[in-house]
Chain A
């Protein structure tokens, strides 16, 4: 098997834990693993040199990494990366980058990989309603889902090289608009609490927000809720035509479990369902089901969490 190259995942300028997971995936595919760290300041790359299973770290230093421009990032990374099979995270931005780098190298890209067995890769299709197993012949670019592969530990120590690089920027950011709320987006969160049409009114989502704040969770919604109420934006929608998520904990409140919604959240590690209809399909996927109205269950959940979390 050829060399593997991991593109480090950074979050707010810091090394993300996801990078450790990507190294685990890389070690399943090849014997040596080079980690490329796209950065403005190479100091962040030293974190990657401590990850076990990494052979070499290349800090790709460039002004283009100040903000995301697909073309410029792909060019800058391609310039410093050796050939081989490349692994990125499956965040929206990294999937975009993976596709660009693959195209630049005239090789294929396989997105959202959830298992690696030799050269056979598994990816969810139809938003997880089925799994597709593919085999790759030669080099490819592979994006790997978070929370699937165990993270490699930080007991390593390998050489690090800093390379200045550049790319041609083709888009210009005029303005950054920060989200008004401090709450996480569903695509970034490890815990999500979602509401459906069973919440009755969009104002009742405040009860979900109260619990979200206790858990550091994001608030999501079903398509029915987004379609029914203008106050619930599409950015909150979890499902096949919204966001596909796989957090550690997903709490579905007043969501019956339409196939569309299940497709987007069924791979969550733990699922809690609160619904007054004991026959709602969501219960078939729930680790813990509560047959009750949200008015009965949420206040109890809220106070129980308060005492548990202190």
Chain B
């Protein structure tokens, strides 16, 4: 300990967690014109991001540190930041942007923010429920020159990090050296819920809104459309018809 009573030997980890606002996964998606119309859709935090936030908070609780949640979007996305603030996140940052960015543009502005913030570790969901791409975690890590582990289902904090990640035929138990980006799947993690006190505090919290200068996107959206409708199938009554269906799988579908 130093003269101020601060234990300087203790590592204080500077933790970032990336969160994204997406349509609730139970919602119907509709197209108007040639674009998805989200005007009547309920928006929420992307489900896997909840596990990223939980792991970030547990990381802090294991040995001290601060957790900063970062999102990219317009003012509407502040709701998601307030939601994670209520769970115990220390700081909330929104990189202000209202237009489509391709992965190169998005990861560039995130890499700038993570570099200037001096973070030791970044948590994110394994993919966002809108694009399902899962590019941000590994892409960000590459730009920062960091290691990364993806789709982790379990994590323990033992000075460093030990994570469980699916691998061909089973799971790999991997020891991760910081700095690193950790993308999180659901796994065995149980996420905490916010309480009234947390929600009240979050209401008053200020979102740190930052302007960004993103490089030009080389990928552009041409149109959205509904998936092609499937022709009507054959429907049978009663358990005995399973025999007919098995025969059709062989004779008509040629798959068994």
Task: Give residues 78-124 of A contacting B (CB, 8 Å).
Answer: 92, 95-104, 106-112, 120, 123-124
> Across the interface, which residues of B come within 8 angstroms of A198, CB to CB?
none
Which of the listed residues B107, B140, B242 has the most CB atoms from chain A within 10 Å of its own CB?
B242
Choice from B29, B47, B141, B186 contacting A126 with Cβ under 8 Å: B29
> Considering only CB atoms, which chain A residue lies closest to B38 in the complex?
A126
Contacting pair A104 B168 (CB below 8 A): no
Contacting pair A108 B218 (CB below 8 A): yes
> Considering only CB atoms, which chain B residue lies closest to A177 in the complex?
B171
Classify the secondary structure of B's interface with A. Answer: mixed
Contacting pair B167 A176 (CB below 8 A): yes
Determine if B173 is an interface residue (Cβ-Cβ < 8 Å).
Answer: yes
Task: Bits for B169-191, please: 1 = Cβ < 8 Å to A, else 0.
Answer: 11111111100100001110000
Contacting pair B47 A108 (CB below 8 A): no
A residues within 8 Å of B by Cβ?
A: 11-12, 67-71, 74, 92, 95-104, 106-112, 120, 123-138, 140, 170-179, 185, 191, 215, 234-235, 237, 240-241, 244, 248-249, 258-260, 263, 266-267, 269-272, 274, 278, 283, 285-293, 295-301, 304-305, 308-309
> Considering only CB atoms, which chain B residue lies closest to A121 in the complex?
B219
Choice from A103, A128, A178 contacting B170 with Cβ under 8 Å: A178
Can you list 18 A-B contacts (CB < 8 A)?
A71-B148, A95-B135, A102-B104, A108-B103, A126-B130, A129-B29, A171-B175, A234-B187, A237-B186, A249-B249, A259-B28, A269-B255, A287-B233, A290-B235, A290-B239, A296-B239, A298-B242, A301-B243
Determine if B65 is an interface residue (Cβ-Cβ < 8 Å).
Answer: no
Contacting pair A288 B236 (CB below 8 A): yes
Contacting pair A308 B246 (CB below 8 A): yes
Contacting pair A133 B253 (CB below 8 A): no
Alpha-carbon separation in the docked complex, A79 to B255 (Å): 41
Alpha-carbon separation in the docked complex, A135 to B219 (Å): 6
Contacting pair A308 B250 (CB below 8 A): yes
Contacting pair B134 A96 (CB below 8 A): yes
Q: A129-B28, A171-B147, A301-B242 are known contacts. Are A70 and B141 too (CB-CB below 8 A)? A: yes
Choice from A12, A102, A170, A215 contacting B139 with Cβ under 8 Å: A102
Additional pairs, 5, CB under 8 Å, beyond known A170-B147, A171-B176, A177-B171: A127-B129, A173-B173, A176-B173, A278-B237, A289-B236
Q: A68-B167, A127-B129 are known contacts. Are A109 and B135 too (CB-CB below 8 A)? A: yes
B residues within 8 Å of A by Cβ?
A: 23, 25-29, 31, 36, 47-48, 102-105, 107, 129-143, 146-151, 153, 162, 164, 166-177, 180, 185-187, 217-227, 230, 233-243, 245-250, 253, 255-256
Contacting pair B253 A270 (CB below 8 A): yes
Q: A70-B138, A99-B138, A174-B162 are known contacts. Are A241 and B25 too (CB-CB below 8 A)? A: yes
> Across the interface, which residues of A come within 8 angstroms of B166, CB to CB?
92, 185, 235
3 residue pairs, one from A and one from B, having the closest CB atoms: A296-B239, A170-B147, A304-B246
Nearest CB of chain B from residue A113's CB, rounded to whole Å? 11
Classify the secondary structure of A's interface with B. Answer: mixed
Alpha-carbon separation in the docked complex, A179 to B238 (Å): 37
Contacting pair B133 A134 (CB below 8 A): no
Q: A108-B103, A131-B225 are known contacts. Are A177 and B170 too (CB-CB below 8 A)? A: yes
Contacting pair B224 A132 (CB below 8 A): yes
Nearest CB of chain A from residue B249's CB, rounded to whole Å? 7
Alpha-carbon separation in the docked complex, A132 to B226 (Å): 9
Contacting pair A107 B174 (CB below 8 A): no
Choice from A102, A126, A185 contacting B103 with Cβ under 8 Å: A102
Contacting pair B217 A108 (CB below 8 A): yes
Contacting pair B222 A260 (CB below 8 A): no
Nearest CB of chain A from residue B161's CB, rounded to whole Å? 9
